[in-house]
Amino acid sequence: MFPGPLGHSLAGRALEHGTWALETLDIRSFARDKHRSVDDTPFGGGPGMVMRPDVLDAALEAATAQAVAARGERGRAIYLSPRGRVLDQDLVKELAGERSLILLCGRYEGVDERVLEKHALEEVSLGDFVLSGGEPAALCLIDAVVRLLPGVMGNVETAGEESFERGLLEYPHYTRPAFWDGRQVPAVLLSGDHGKVRAWRLEQAEAITEARRPDLWSRYLESRPAPKVKKRRATKAAAQPSNPADDPAGTAGSNEDS
Ligand code: 4FN
69-97: per-residue pLDDT in tens? 999 999 999 999 999 999 999 999 999 99
- What spacing in Å lies between the alpha carbon of 56 and ligand 1's midpoint? 18
- What spacing in Å lies between the alpha carbon of 29 and ligand 1's midpoint? 24
135-146 and 89-96 helices, crossing angle to 10°: 70
Ligand 1 within 6 A of CB of 49: no
Based on C-alpha coordinates, what's the Rg of the chain? Answer: 25
The reply to whether the predicted model has a pTM over 0.95 is: no
Ligand 1 within 6 A of CB of 81: yes
- Burial degree of 24 (CB within 10 A; 0-12, 13-18, 19+): exposed
Name which of 135, 15, 121, 140 is nearest 75 in CA terms.
Answer: 121
Ligand 1 within 6 A of CB of 47: no
Name which of 71, 87, 88 is nearest 79 in CA terms.
Answer: 87
The Cβ of residue 70 has, within 10 Å, a number of other Cβ atoms equal to 12
Could you write out the DSSP letters of every residue in 154-208?
Answer: TTSS-TTTSGGGGT-PPPP---S-SEETTEEPPGGGGS--HHHHHHHHHHHHHHH
Per-residue model confidence (pLDDT) at position 40: 98
Per-residue model confidence (pLDDT) at position 233: 57
- What spacing in Å lies between the alpha carbon of 81 and ligand 1's midpoint? 6
- What spacing in Å lies between the alpha carbon of 91 and ligand 1's midpoint? 19
Give, for 102, the enclosing helix (H) or strand (E): strand 101-105
Strand 122-125 versus strand 183-184 pairing type = unpaired
Per-residue model confidence (pLDDT) at position 210: 98
Ligand 1 within 6 A of CB of 80: yes
Q: Are 124 and 80 in contact (CB under 8 A)?
A: yes
Task: Count CA atoms closer than 13 A to 179's CA, side-chain side.
Answer: 1
Distance CA 165, CA 89 (A): 8
- What spacing in Å lies between the alpha carbon of 74 and ligand 1's midpoint? 25
Average of per-residue pLDDT across 159-180: 86
Ligand 1 within 6 A of CB of 48: no
Q: 202 pLDDT band (50/70/90 cuts)?
A: very high
Q: 103 pLDDT band (50/70/90 cuts)?
A: very high
